[in-house]
Structure 1
Amino acid sequence: MIDLVNQINATHRALGTTPLSTGGAGRSLLLRRTYDAAVDDVWSACTDAARLARWLAPVSGDLRLGGKYQLEGNAGGEILVCAPPSRLRVTWSMGEGMATEVELRLAPSGDGTVLELEHSSPAEIVDEMVRQYGPGGTIGIGGGWDLALAGLFMHLTGADYDPVGWQDTAEAKAFAAGSCSAWGAVVQAAWGAGDDDVAAAVAFAQAHFG
């Protein structure tokens, strides 16, 4: 069992803008949290195929700069930047879906590590999706990353953790609900959405991603 409240509160969440590797403007979700593990250990957990399978998903491909990767049942793409042990940037696409980018940044903090994960999508596509469907998708994507970073925490602390099995548990669903609510507050602060719109978006995200 994990402390759900502590895990949700351990992460700083923000929405912003960032340039894409293609040169265009991007809309981004940013997650930041500190792990009680050395930078080299966190980097290894995030880049070693055997360790990734223990908290995220099995990964295949040519895992080097310029190589292609594929997470089982998840996204795939190209490795754009690989600067051990501090920075990793990849394209992130689900099948034929919208091409996005994910950047991982690590920095030492005392005996631990500050991890930043930024997921960026083309601004014009995100803006159009929000106009049509509201902020539910953004909340759901953020909640998915919260689940992943909670899995990384359990892996780094030596917990007995199955990334597939755990996400089907009542504990994981409660965590996802709390995460979506936390992202709802971020969306409301960033976009000035009304209470009813945010509540509907959180409910949508929980139904599709929880």
Structure 2
Amino acid sequence: MADRIDLDPQHLGTVERTHGGAHTTLRFERQLDATPEEVWRALTDPAELAVWFGCPVDVVPGERIAIHFADSSPQDSRIVTWEPPSLLAFEWDDHYPRSTDPDRSMSLVTFELERSGAGTRLVLVHSNGEPKEWKDNLGGWHGHLVALREHLAGRSVEFKPLFVATIGLYQAVTTDTWLGGLDA
């Protein structure tokens, strides 16, 4: 498993403070060996999502996505943008445990897909996130993107050990390395 976790610094996610430090924006960029249509299907087909996302996922195209994590309540999100096969954006609840407050702040997860050579350039942006969750969110998305790459290549991956490893990677990075003290 560890040999499949890409720790090349160019593949680490980036984080920046936004809105005067009240939120964070995370960003990943990947080159995938699959067409935009194949990547879109992996991002939006419940059967494919369950394989690489590590849990059951329900999708109502253009309306809702519900992610059923084993250790928390479902992440039930409104799809904001649905433009096959290039742009998918949905709300994300950064609150743990999940909040039922209808006025809670939601972050936004965006997948941008663009044909690049024989494959696809994927850009994932998680904006308006909760600052206290930035390391876990970076590690989680990094793990999901490794699992997506493996899925598209026809290889299986055990998500739980992968998730533990990628969360650990970002937890081990000193805060001074990221924005000169993001947690300060």
TM-score (norm 2): 0.77
SS of residue paired to 2:37: helix
1:53-68 equivalent positions in 2, closer than 5 A:
53-56=50-53, 57-61=55-59, 63-65=60-62, 67-68=63-64
Match of 2:36 in 1: 39
Superposition map of 1:31-180 within 5 A: 31-56=28-53, 57-61=55-59, 63-65=60-62, 67-73=63-69, 74-93=74-93, 95-96=98-99, 98-121=105-128, 126=131, 129=132, 137-163=133-159, 167=160, 169=161, 173-180=164-171
Q: Give the whole-Å Cα distance in 1 for the aligned partners of 2:116 and 2:84.
A: 17
Q: Which of 182, 188, 194 pairs up with 2:176?
A: 188
Q: Return 5+ residue gaps in structure 2 as ranges.
A: none
Larger helix share, 1 or 2: 1
1:159 CA displacement: 1.1
Count the aligned residue pairs.
169
Relative to structure 1, is the Cα distance of residues 2 and 107 closer, same or farther in structure 2, using a 3 angstrom cutoff?
farther
- 1:39-84 deviation line (CA, Å, top 9, x unaligned): 11111100111110111121125x222x222111252210110011
Query: In terms of Rg, which structure is larger?
Result: 1
Rounded to whole Å, the distance in 2 between the matches of 1:54 and 1:85 is: 20
Q: Which has the higher contact order (CA 8 A, sep 6+)?
A: 2
Q: Deviations over 1:100-130 (max 9, x none)?
A: 11111011111111111111126xx64xx5x
Tell whether the 8 Å contact from 1:54 to 1:162 is kept in structure 2 after alignment: no
Distance 2:46 2:92 in 1: 17
| TM-score (ref. length: structure 1) | 0.68
Does residue 1:8 correspond to 2:7, yes or no?
A: yes
- RMSD of aligned Cα (Å): 2.9
Which residue of 1 is the match for residue 26 of structure 2? 29
Q: Distance in 2 between matches of 1:69 and 1:172?
A: 21
